[in-house]
Amino acid sequence: MDFSHWFLLVCTGFAFYSLGITWFVQLVVYPLFAKVGTADYVTYHRFYSSHIPLPVIFPGFASFLLPIALIFVQPESVPTGLSLANAACGLLSLVVTVALEIPRHARLEKGGKQEGVIRELIRYNWPRTAGITGSAVLTLTMLMSAFSPTI
């Protein structure tokens, strides 16, 4: 197995890890933000923020950026269109994260519990969830293309 196949396997691992994390965050973690009491909210959010870099942030950003590199090192049997669509999903997720989600987390961490901001966090996370889901599906399709026996 050559480097491009190994790299695709690594990208697939990050894509599916991030897929699980993003759906858990969308359906469980962010809705729980609204359940935390106002008096404890800043402490809660700071704890949350300080504990997510290793399990969430680092793999998430890897899953956003690795598809771009995959365009250049994809296995020959993978259609370039799949790689480009995958990279577009990663870029969508990156833009949503940086432009919409991070600023809302900052507002919650500074200003405490704000129901409107929590609703925005959940609503604006849907495009990121869709992007990560699309990337996982596309990466799986690329994987099947790369490892399919040639007839």
Q: Report pLDDT digits (tens) over 135-145.
A: 999 999 999 99
Q: Is residue 90 part of a domain?
A: yes
Q: Is residue 115 part of a domain?
A: yes
Q: Is residue 104 part of a domain?
A: yes
Domain hosting residue 99, numbered range = 3-146
Q: Residue 151 above 70 pLDDT?
A: no
Q: Report pLDDT digits (tens) over 58-117.
A: 999 999 999 999 999 999 999 999 999 999 999 999 999 999 999 999 999 999 999 999
SS (HEC) of the chain: CCHHHHHHHHHHHHHHHHHHHHHHHHHHHHHHHCCCCCCCHHHHHHHHHHHCHHHHHHHHHHHHHHHHHHHHHCCCCCCHHHHHHHHHHHHHHHHHHHHHHHHHHHHHHHHCCCHHHHHHHHHHHHHHHHHHHHHHHHHHHHHHHHHCCCC
Q: Residue 150 above 90 pLDDT?
A: no
Report how many domains make up the chain: 1
Q: Is residue 151 part of a domain?
A: no
Q: What is the structure's pLDDT at 89?
A: 98
